Structures are given as C-alpha cells and as structure tokens.
C-alpha cells in the first residue's frame, strides 16, 4: 500500500476514534471561543452537534454561522507531540429545526451513540442541533505528511505539495 493509500485509509476512519469534537467559533464582536461537543456524523461527512442554547459556542453560531472543528489524537497515543495526527474542517453551521424529520433522525443517532442521556436532553427546550457542513479540510498524520480534504468529495484526499498545491 502506498503512503497516500495508507493516509486515505487512516483519514476515512479517523473520526470513528472520537466521541466529541473541538469547536472554534467567533462572536459577532470577533471574540474567539474554543469548546467541544459530542457529535454524530452522516455519510456525507456533515457533523451534527447537540448543544445548549446557553453555551457561548451556540450563541456564536447564531451570530456567525461558521466554525472550525478539530479532531486530534490523544497526547498519550502520539509518538511525537509536535506532530499529532489531526483533522480540521472549516464548516458552515445550520440550525436543524426542532421536531422535523431530520431533527428526529439526528436525535435518534445521538441516542444510539450516547444512550439514555439523550432522552433527558431531548426534553430540554434550550438544547439545539447544529449541522456543521465542511467546505474544506486538512488531515495531518505527521511531519511532511499533510493532505487536503478534496472539497468536491469529502471522502477523499489530495496531496499537499511543497508549493501548497494539491495532487493525488
């Protein structure tokens, strides 16, 4: 298997290693906020987060519907702290309207993944589901091993060359 094929296989299963995602948002006043949220992901790589309406990141997503998300290898699992495996996506955030077919499907996915706690959250009116739709991404697996996520097909990667241009 080539280095690219190995990277692609690692990328395609990387998010399976996580139950939560680090989220970076910005307020209407351009004040950044880093947080996290449990997530589910669909076959198109849309990321869904189920968050309190009282949280800073939720208020930021209402004000500026964009987020950067980060999946990053556990420090205890990394061979080199300066080259942790990581995946980032730049995303557009869309509120999923409560009690719609999509909302019910996503809540069911959260319940399947996270269990009984979702029954409690489902009844709390301040909890919201946001769909984070990736527009671009980057997968880093070590020094000199970084790949762009293909924006036209989020299931695949392109190599990053020294000139910064991608190529498979």
- Delineate the domains of the chain, giving CATH numbers in brackets: 20-138 (2.30.110.10)
pLDDT > 50? residue 6:
yes
pLDDT band at 159 (very low <50, low <70, confident <90, very high): confident
| Mean pLDDT of the residues in the chain | 93
pLDDT in tens, 104-151: 999 999 999 999 999 999 989 999 999 999 999 999 998 888 999 999
Q: Tens digit of pLDDT for each residue in 37-49?
A: 999 999 999 999 9
In degrees to the nearest 10, what's the CA dihedral of 142, 73, 94, 121? 180
pLDDT at 48: 98
Q: In terms of DSSP H, where are the helices of 25-137? A: 56-63, 101-114, 117-122
Strand partners, 157: 149
Taking 50 as the threshold, does the pLDDT of residue 1 lie above it? yes
């Amino acid at each position: 298997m080539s280095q690219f094929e190995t990277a692609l296989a690692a990328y395609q299963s990387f998010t399976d290693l996580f139950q939560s995602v680090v989220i970076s948002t910005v307020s209407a006043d351009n004040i950044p906020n880093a947080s996290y949220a449990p997530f589910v992901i669909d076959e198109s790589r849309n990321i869904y987060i189920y968050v309190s309406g009282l949280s800073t990141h939720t208020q930021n997503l209402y004000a500026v519907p964009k987020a950067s998300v980060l999946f990053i290898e556990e420090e205890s699992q990394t061979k080199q702290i300066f080259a942790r495996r990581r995946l980032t996506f730049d995303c557009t955030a869309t509120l999923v309207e409560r009690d719609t077919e999509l909302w019910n499907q996503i809540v069911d996915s959260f319940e399947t993944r996270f269990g009984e706690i979702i029954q409690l959250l489902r009844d709390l009116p301040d909890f919201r589901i946001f769909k984070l739709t990736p527009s671009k991404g980057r997968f880093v697996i070590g020094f000199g091993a970084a790949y762009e996520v293909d924006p036209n097909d989020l299931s695949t990667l392109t190599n990053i060359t020294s000139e910064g241009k991608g190529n498979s």
